[in-house]
Amino acid sequence: MNTLAKKRLKSIYAHTILILASILFLVPFVWMVSTSFKPITQVFTFPPEFLPRPFQWENYIEATKYIPFWTYTWNTAVITGLSTLGVVLSCPLVAYSFAKLRWRGRNTLFAITIGVMMIPTQVTMIPLFLLFNQLGWVGTNLPLIVPAFFGIPFSIFLLRQFFKGLPDTLREAAKIDGASEWRIYWQIMFPLAKPAVLAVALFQFMAAWTDFLGPLIYLTDEAAYTLSLGLQQFQNQQGSQWHMMMAVSTLMTLPIIVLFFFMQKTFIRGITFTGIKG
């Protein structure tokens, strides 16, 4: 077997595995969307039916009436948007200092940042709650937004690896031209890191949009609930209405799918180019 035939055979194997894995991960989503259009009598039929008969489009209208869906959507969008902005502003700046600047204690502080990534959320949950309670932030959106403006360890690590892959000659040339460190960062390094920054922003968007534990701990006013809490509330109130709960779940998932669809090339570039050097 020649080299070309071996390459084609490997490509066929790889694509076959990817297709099978895609189908495996796609089935639950297809089932959710299919159930959202079904009458309640078809939800638990056996054998399962993926095609609703008939399509009940009114499931979506009725589902949004059981809970203040649009209020919860707005609350989620505000928290997600501001926390994503915080990550975009803070994490690249910290990552750049770890990757390109020389200052005392840099390696130690970076090691601490990596160590923080290893600490489970459950360990810091109570201390953070007590801290935010002392600040008077419990019951507001601030505990879900403000920490992002001080950096997320995983995002800092990811961006540091990307910055380390950028050539130092760019920075040195800018210094020779008289550019300050701040100008080098904003006008040269940050634009070059756009794929990685957008990948980090997408990670944060998905984490904040689907976050359940944070809102559950810190939000006490029902009018400030997010979609994840609203979905839980819907399940508590209308637990038997699975077709409408799937409709709400589909609406909640839709923004993430649309965002990833339009950003997938940039996202893949950011992940692929991260960690080339260092």
List C-alpha distances in Å: 116 to 112, 121, 151, 162, 210.
Answer: 6, 10, 12, 20, 22
The CA–CA distances, whole Å, from 134 to 130, 138, 141, 150, 224 equal 6, 9, 15, 19, 20
Q: Domains along the chain?
A: 3-55 (no CATH), 64-275 (1.10.3720.10)
Q: For residue range 81-117, what is the model confidence (pLDDT) as tens digits?
A: 999 999 999 999 999 999 888 888 888 999 999 888 8
Rounded to the nearest angstrom, the gap between the alpha carbon of residue 63 and the centroid of all alpha carbons in its chain is: 25
Average pLDDT over residues 58-78: 87
Whole-model pTM: value is 0.84
Lowest-confidence segment of 58-62, 85-89, 149-153, 154-158 by average pLDDT: 58-62
Measured between alpha carbons, how far is 175 from 172 in angstroms, rounded to an integer? 5
Among the listed residues 232, 153, 241, the one whose alpha carbon sits nearest the alpha carbon of residue 200: 153
Stretch 240-252: mean pLDDT? 82
CA angle, corner 228, sides to 48 and 208, nearest 5? 120
Residue 185 has what DSSP assignment? I
159-180 pLDDT, tens per residue? 998 888 888 888 888 888 888 8
Identify the pLDDT of residue 278.
43
CA 53 to chain centre: 35
Chain segment 247-275, per-residue pLDDT in tens:
888 888 888 888 877 777 766 665 665 54
Question: Could you report how far apart the first and last alpha carbons of the chain are, in Å?
Answer: 39
Confidence at 54, pLDDT banded by 50, 70, 90: confident
198 has pLDDT over 80 = yes
- The burial class, CB within 10 Å (0-12 / 13-18 / 19+), for 191 is exposed
Rounded-to-10 torsion of CA 9, 10, 11, 14: 130
Please name the residues in contact with 235: beta carbons below 8 A apart, sequence gap of 6 or more: 245
pLDDT digits (tens, 9 = 90+) for 1-41: 567 777 778 888 888 898 888 888 888 888 888 888 888 77
pLDDT of residue 271: 60
Q: How many CB atoms lie within 10 A of CB 172?
A: 11
Q: Where are the alpha helices (DSSP H) in the chain?
A: 3-36, 58-66, 69-100, 106-117, 121-134, 142-145, 153-164, 168-176, 181-184, 190-192, 194-209, 213-218, 227-237, 242-273
User: With left for phi above 0 and alpha for psi between -120 and 50, is residue 71 left, alpha or beta?
Assistant: alpha
Token pair, residue 175, equals 């210094």
Mean per-residue pLDDT of the chain: 85
8 Å CB contact between 157 and 114? yes
Mean per-residue pLDDT, 137-154? 92
Choice between 133 and 268, residue whose per-residue pLDDT is larger: 133
